Every structure is written in structure tokens, then in C-alpha cells.
Chain A
Amino acid sequence: MKIIHCADLHLDSSLRSCYSSEKAALRRNEILKTFLNTVDFAIKSQARVVIIAGDFFDRNKVTKKTEEFVFNKISSAKNIDFLYLKGNHDDNIRFNSPIPGNLKILSDGQSYFYDNVEIRGIYSYDDVKSFDKENYNIAVAHAEIAGVNNEYQLNLKSLQNKNIDCLCLGHIHKRTSGKLDDRGVYYYSGNIDGRGFDECGEKGILMLDTNQRTVEFISMSSRLVIEMKVDITGVKSNNELIEIIDKNISEIDKKSILRIVLIGKYSEDLVKDLYFIKNYFSERFFVFELKDKSELLIDYESLKYDISLKGEFIRVVKNSNLSNELCDKVIRAGLMALNNEEPIL
């Protein structure tokens, strides 16, 4: 029997600030479409169940439009049960209309049986009843793995030796897996489509085959979210900066949501015009963001002998209690001003 495991869809998410209003609206629609594609895939691959391990929606209030799309799609997949475990974002979900018959909201300890497969939702992790060892047993939870049991924190030991074959987890958006006990394995499916730069890489769903006892990742991302570091050590001008960034991103798909993080050390000769560089690349990608984490290269040995105002200024800043990052920015601004240039931040 085929079962799909997905989680953390966060439909109707307001999305991160890297999106403009228009792009945010577009991206929300794309993520919704990814869910609709997931259902199509489930139908095509003749899955029997789709497990949604929490945070189906980003908030307890769902927009009418999203609800309509989701419910209609679920209804159309008549032969598939959608088992929905609530998460921390949608723990008090409230719908505007009656839910489809094949969408089942799991309560704590509630099980559904499909031939010899039991699928059970778990909200509280202490004193979990053991499963029947003859069955193929799937437990569903929305929590991060921790040393204790709390709301949305799960100590794996609580679920060991309960005859669980597969622990389908949500809450952590990165796809991972690990051993539960001698019998079972836990999986975080990760979310189905990246929203921000804390959700980089390929996203999608997991397909469980209870007969073959296999788990396969299926990519569903409509766009890749990529964060890339570019070392600008040795770069002396904005042209060189553009060139080096260009070289690093030449292979990246234009549909991507891309963040470039500048790292390394640069000399004070380089006056980075980040605003210009960002605009230069922004048209090329769906979203382009530029973050500067590079450090001003200061020759402290020379600085010792620099009796100029500039030298004194740098010393004063470096001896202050500002963070390294802030020191660099302050020094850069001061040096540009001393060079009679308008500081560019």
C-alpha cells in the first residue's frame, strides 16, 4: 500500500520580507498549487492515504479561496484518505465550510486502519499505547526531537518499543531521518516548497510503500530557494564584485529564490555599492537578495603606527563594545566620509 507523508505546508503564509507584495501573493499561489500537484501525484500513484503531519495551514484562520481549492481537490480524490494532524500553527483551525468526507482530522490516539496498516495520530507522547506487532504501524506527530516530552517536543524514548514501523513527523522543515528503535525509523518529510532562506534546497514529500517497506523522496518544489556564500577576499572594485558574483550564479536557474551572502575580507579601497549590485541582479531571478557578511581588512600592525585621524578613528571604533559586524560598518562609513565620499551602507 502506498502512503504519502508530507508536513508543514503552511498554506496562506504571509511569507518572508524578501518578497514584494506581488511576489508574495504569487508565491503563496505557487505553494498552494504544489499541494494540488501533490494530490494529483497521490491519485496518479494510487496512494491510499496522504498523511499531513501538522501545520497544514499557517494560521488558525484560512482564507475562503484557499479553503475552497483545498477542499475541492481533496474531495476529488475520492479514493484517498487525508489524515490531518494539527500542528502548532493550526492547533485551533477553523474552517468556513464543512470538511470533505475523506479529510480526517486526527485526535490524540485516534487510529485508522487500512488492511494490516494502522495509522495513529499522537499529540501527547507519554504513555503511548503499543501497536499490534502483526501490523505495519505508522505513528504521526508534530514535534521536534528533544530530551524531554513537552508540547511540540518529543523524547524518542517514549515511542521506542511500541512496534512502530514508521514515525512520520512534522515541525522541522528540513528533511531528515533516523533510527527509532530496532524495528522502526522516524522521518521528517520537510515542507513541500520553500518559503524563505531558512528553507533552502529541494523540497517535497515522502512516499511510503508498506509492502516493499521503502521510503522514497519525491521532489515537489516549484522553485528552489538557494543561499550561496561568495568570498570577496581580494576584490578591489564593484566591477570585480559583480564579476565574481556573476561567476558563482551563472548555473543557477532563473526561477530560483536566491540570496547571496558576501563573506571574506575586503580592503578599505573597496567601496561596495550593494544597492547597485542588488538591482543589477534582481531582474535575473524571481527573488534576489544580497547580504553582506564580509569583514573590513584592517592591518592592525600598521594601524599601530597610523597617527592620523583615520587611524585614531579606527582604533576608537575597534576598542568600543560594538560587534565586529557593526564595527566594520561604522569604520567603513567613517572612512568613506573622511575620503569625502557619501557613505554607502
Chain B
Amino acid sequence: MKLIKCYINNFGKLNNFSYEFNKELNVINQHNGFGKSTLCGFIKAMFYGFNSTKTKNLNDNERLRFLPWQGGVFGGFLDFETGENKYRIERTFGDKPSLDKFSLINLKTGKESFDYSERIGEELFGIDLKGFERCTFFSNNSLNLKLPLSISSKLSSLIDNTDDFSDYDSALNLLLKKSRQYKTVGGKGIIFDTESKLSKLQNKLFEVENAEKELNLKQEELESLKKKKGYNDKDIENIQLTISENAEISVMKQKIKHYNSLVSETKKAKETKEFIEKKYNSNIPDSVKVAELSDECGKLKNLKENTKFGLADKIFLFFSLLVFIFGFSCFAVCLVLNKSFIINLLISLLGAVFTLLFSAVFLSRRKKYKKLLLQVEQDFSFLGIKTDDYCLKLDEIRKDIFEYKLVSKNFEEYFNEAKNYYNSENLKSFKENIRSKTFEELKEREKELINISFNLSSEIIEVSSKVNQLHETADCKIDVLNQVERLNTELLEYKENYNVIIAAAEFLKQAKENFAVKYKEKIEESFKKNLNSLIGSSDEIGINSDFDVFVINNGTIKNIDSLSSGTKSAVEIAMRFSLIDTLFETEKPFIIFDDTFLHLDDNAFKNIAEKIKIISKDTQILYFTCSKSRTF
């Protein structure tokens, strides 16, 4: 494309300024302060507008920098041709981008054209403002012959708003350096440190988890021991109970024996009592009755004695009879003899009386005896006794009564004693079927169990202590887990950051590779063509695969420094132009030289000047200089 004409209403210090461009070389030789930079800025602004920025720094804020000093309409127009079309860009600018205006006029038709938008620069050249600035503007230090002429670096630095050739390299170094903070080949860095901490914590966690498992086991063991001890203690209790029961059994047995003896005595007493009761038809005579009977028996005995016809009785009766007989005999004799018989009669009467008296007494005695005997018989019969010898029986009765009283008393006593004894000693609960071991066996077993209990207690104390220890360790688990989680999160973050850095480095390399791949062939071809046009055919100068420019001198590869300054400049220009050829695929822009060759000597400049003229056949050049010696 070619610039045709420009008109500036107001732009920086320029106002009401117009310029018509030559299609090839435009040399603008003006003093410093003329506005060369302003004109360059205007051309740029027509194609690209102003960058949106809020900074007040004039170097970075061109809107502020080029604000018209005198006020008025801030803008102008620029005519250009591209292909077969001619256009006019009209732009005015406000304080902010929203106040900017843009229009494109097709100069052939005079009508507004929509072939390009307000991003016309990018659309036309296929490059953004920075790239455009870097490529099309040759400032007075853009040709730096001191630094290595690597085209890749040049390419980057040219396009990346810097003259630092090592941008890519330094960027890559920064990334790699940053990555080494996270991880190095030698096993250092935050990631390794964190992994190491994590590993230690994992070990600790493993220990803690083991402690937890062991704690569970120990707690089970403790429970089991306590249970065992419980059973054991119960066994001890039981055995002690058995021992005491055994002692009790003996005592109880004694008691039972005693009780049984009481019962037996009671039974005996009862039997005796019953026997006596039966004997007396349950009419056991009391003492009064016995006294009566005794009296009766006494009387009976006496009476019986009295009823006995004893010698005395016999003698009395004999004599009574004798008397009677004598008396009677005498009576009779007397009677016969008619003698006084009264005495004899009296004697016989006496005798008779005595005999009768005796008989009467004897009979009376006998009757009395019989009556009494009957009575006694009845009495005894009432008592159920039949006997011949009542007096003897009475003794027996007395004996029986005495015994009866005794056994009754005994019975009652034994009965009550047995009953009370039974109740007080709680003999009802006595289980006779308790198996009792011998006392020694039981004591032996008790000792055994107490030993076991003692051992269990010791074990329990030991295990409890272990459980407490394990608790202390296991309860740390929460803290350890928290630390592990935190470190894991940090590690994840570090690894992600590391991956980001590595990815950035890889993608940067990739971008550079793409760059190289994209531009290598074109650059090589264009460089050779441009160099050829500048200095003629030169097989001495070449580009290697890394885009490094080299010189072949007598068959050896030499550094570019071995070239003359003029040739070096030519190489530099050829390189820049090859970049321009490569980068501006769609439409090649004009090139602006702004006092670029001030540093060259006259011969070198002359050389370059010739080259510039040649180049201007293909590329429109705007050459600004403030020095007459540097004009064409």
C-alpha cells in the first residue's frame, strides 16, 4: 500500500498541516521540533486509533501526548491506496475513546466505504499496532550492531516493543528459575520439602493409626480382663460362700441333729404321754383325784385288812363263840338245872352279842370294803385300769401321773424348743443336697482363685496404663490429619503452580518454534533477496538454522563482526526488511526512517543511501532527518 496524502486539523503541535506523499522515497529534512514524530504519530493514529489507557504518562498515553496544543478539532484525514482502491481515513479524537469518530471514504466513488473498520490498520496489514511500530519505524538506535544478530531474537525483540534481544531467553530463564523454586533435579525445592514433611507426617499418621488399632485391641483386652476378673471374683465369692456354707452345713447339721433330737424327745414325750393317756382312757387323774384314790386305796387297804379273818379275828370269834357256847351251854345247863341262868344267859348273850357284833362288824367291814372296793373299782375303771391290787396300781398311777406330767412338760418344752429352734435357725432353707467338699479342698481352691485375681489385677493395671498411653498417641490423630490435609492442599497448589510454570515454558518454546517454523523459510529467502539487492550477490554471508548470520571467509565460518560497518548495516537492513516481508503478509506498509543513520560515517551512509533508494522502488519510504548531511 502507498500513502497518498494527509491533512492534519490539529494533532499535537501540527495544525492545518498537509502533505502529499511520493510513491517511492519521501525525504523530509526538517529541524528538530518540526513535528516529525507528531506526523509519524498521526499516520499511526489514522490506521490504529489510540490505545485505551488511563495512564497520565505521556510516553504511554499518545492521546494525551498528541492533544492539540491549540485546541480545535483533534484529527484529520489520510489518503492511501491499496491494490486498485483508494481510500480516505477520517478520524477525530475526543478525550476518551467513546468520543472518537472514524469513517472510511472510497475516493473513487466518494462514498463511505465499509471495506475496513476502525481497526483498519490490523485489517490492512495483518499486524497489531506494536508490531507495526516495531517493524515500520526505524529509529535512530534501532540498528544496533553490537548485539548478536540472531534473527529469532531480532524477530522477537523487534515485535515485542523492546530492543532487548534476549526477551525470549530471559523469559524462559525466569520461568525455569521459578520452576526450580518448586522442584530441582537434585531433589530440592518447595515441592520436595513439602513432600518430605508430608512423608514424615504420613509416617506419624501411620504410627498414630497403628496406635489406634492397638488401642482398640488393648481396650478389648482390658474389657476381657475385667470380665475375667469379674468372673473370677464371683468364683471367689462363691467359693468363700461355699466354705462358709460348708462350715454352716456342719453347724447346720449340728443344729439339725439337735433339732432332730428335740423332735425325737418331743416324739418320745408325746408317745409316752399318749401311752399314758391311752392307758387312762385320756382321763389322767389329777392330784386331787390321786389323793382321793390314795385315800380310797388306803381305806380299802385298811378295810381289806379289816375284812381279813385274821388270827385275832379268829381268836375273838372263837372266844366269842366260845363265850356264846359256854354261855349258852351254861344257860342250857342252868336251864335244865333250873339254876340261875341269867349269868349264863348273859354270858351267852354276851357271847352271842360278841359274835353278832363281830359278825356285824365283820360284815359291816366287808360291806364297807366291798362298797369301797366297788367305788375304787369304778374309779379305777374310769381310769381304764383293771387290777387286783389297787394300792399297787395307785403307785403305778402315781408314777404314771408323775411321768405324764413330766413328759407333758417335756413334750411342750421340746415341742416349743424344736419349733423355735427350727424357726430361729431357719432350718427350712437348709438344702441338704449341697455338695460339700472338704474344707481343705475349698481353701486350696480359694487360694488359687485369689492368686488368679491378683494376677488379673496386675494385668489390668498394666493394660490400663498402656491404653492411656495409646490414647495420648491416638488422640493426636485429628491434629495430624489436619496437618496432612493442609500439606496436601499446599502440595497440590505447589504442583499446580509448578505445572503452570513448566507449561508456560513449554508453550513459550512452542511459540518460538512456531515462530521459527512460520517465518524461517520466508526470512531466509527474503533476507538473501534483500541482501542481494543491497550489496549484490554474496555467498560469504548466510543464515544458519538458528537464524544466526555468519560469514564464510576462506572456508571458515566467522563472526559477523568481521564485516565492515557498511556491510553490517546492509545486513541489518536486509534482515529488518526480510522481517517486514515476512510479517506483513497482506499489505506491505511504508517504512519510516527517523534519523536512523546518524551514527554512520559518510561512506557507510552513502552506501546505505543507495540501498534505500533501491528499496524504495518496492516500498514507500518516509525518510526523516534533521541533518543535511544525511539527506539523499
- Majority secondary structure of chain B interface residues (helix, strand, loop or mixed): helix
Number of A-B contacts (CB under 8 A): 151
A 120-137 binary contact with B (CB < 8 Å = 1; else 0): 000000000000000000
Verify A305–B128 contact, CB threshold 8 A.
yes
Contact A333 B482, CB 8 Å, known A64-B475, A312-B515: no
The answer to whether A329 and B479 touch across the interface, beta carbons within 8 angstroms, is no
The listed residue (B477, B482, B483, B507) touching A313 by CB distance below 8 A is B507
CA distance A61 to B478 in the complex (A): 10
B175 and A337 contacting across the interface, CB-CB below 8 Å: yes
A331 to B504, CA, bound (A): 7
Contact A64-B478, Cβ < 8 Å, known A309-B167, A309-B515, A317-B507: no
Contact: A17 with B489, CB < 8 Å? yes
Pairwise interchain contact A309-B507, C-beta atoms closer than 8 A: no
A307, B482: Cβ atoms closer than 8 Å:
no
* Contact partners of A25 in chain B: CB under 8 A: 479
State whether B482 touches A345 (Cβ < 8 A).
no
Please tell me if the beta carbons of A61 and B128 are within 8 angstroms of each other in the complex.
Answer: no
Q: State A333–B131 Cα separation when bound (angstroms).
A: 22
Which of A7-15, A100-108, A224-232, A252-260 makes up part of the contact surface? A7-15
Contacts of B212 in A (CB 8 A): 61
Say what secondary structure dominates the interface of chain A: helix
* Cα-based distance from A19 to B490 in the complex (angstroms): 12
Shortest beta-carbon distance, B593 to chain A, in Å? 22
Q: Does B227 contact A (CB under 8 A)?
A: no
CB distance from B464 to the nearest CB of A (A): 11
Decide if A338 touches B471 in the complex (CB within 8 Å).
Answer: no
**Cβ-defined contact, A338 with B167, below 8 A:** yes
Q: Beta-carbon contacts of B479-499 to A below 8 Å, as 1s and 0s?
A: 101110110111000001100
When A329-B500, A343-B504 are in contact, do A306 and B131 touch as well, CB less than 8 Å? Answer: yes
Residues of A within 8 A of B504 (CB): 317, 330-331, 333-334, 337, 343
| A17-B489, A316-B511 as given contacts; A343 in contact with B168, CB under 8 Å | no
In the complex, the answer to whether B168 meets A309 with C-beta atoms within 8 Å is yes
Q: In this complex, which of A15, A304, A310 has the most chain B Cβ atoms within 10 angstroms of its Cβ?
A: A310
**Contacting residue for A334 out of B156, B215, B508, CB 8 A:** B508
A21, CB-defined interface residue at 8 Å:
yes
Known A-B contacts A14-B482, A312-B515, A337-B172; A94 and B216 likewise in contact (beta carbons under 8 Å): yes
On whether A305 and B127 interact (CB within 8 A), knowing A17-B488, A333-B175, A337-B508, the answer reads yes
* Size bracket of the B interface: 35 or more
How many whole Å from A342's CB to the nearest CB in chain B? Answer: 6
Q: Is the pair A24, B482 in contact by a Cβ cutoff of 8 Å?
A: yes
With a CB–CB cut-off of 8 A, which chain B residues contact A63? 471, 474-475, 478
Instruction: List CB contacts (< 8 Å) of A14-34 with chain B.
Output: 14-17, 19-21, 24-25, 28
CB of B160 within 8 A of CB of A338, answer yes
Decide yes or no: A309 and B511 within 8 Å by CB, A329-B500, A338-B160, A343-B501 being known contacts.
yes
The chain B residues found within 8 Å of chain A, CB to CB, are 54, 119, 122, 125-128, 130-131, 155-156, 159-161, 164, 167-168, 170-172, 174-175, 177-178, 212, 215-216, 219, 471, 474-475, 477-479, 481-483, 485-486, 488-490, 496-497, 500-501, 503-504, 507-508, 510-512, 514-515, 583
A-B CB contact pairs (8 Å), 23 listed: A12-B478, A14-B482, A15-B482, A24-B479, A28-B478, A63-B471, A63-B475, A305-B127, A305-B131, A307-B126, A307-B159, A308-B156, A309-B508, A312-B511, A312-B514, A315-B511, A329-B496, A330-B500, A331-B504, A337-B170, A338-B160, A343-B178, A345-B501
- A residues contacting B by CB (< 8 A) are 12-17, 19-21, 24-25, 28, 61, 63-65, 94, 96, 236, 301-302, 304-313, 315-317, 320, 322, 326, 329-331, 333-334, 336-338, 340-343, 345
- 16 additional A-B residue pairs with CB within 8 Å, beyond A65-B475, A305-B127: A14-B478, A15-B482, A17-B488, A21-B482, A61-B474, A316-B511, A320-B507, A326-B500, A331-B504, A333-B504, A334-B175, A336-B174, A337-B170, A340-B170, A342-B174, A342-B177
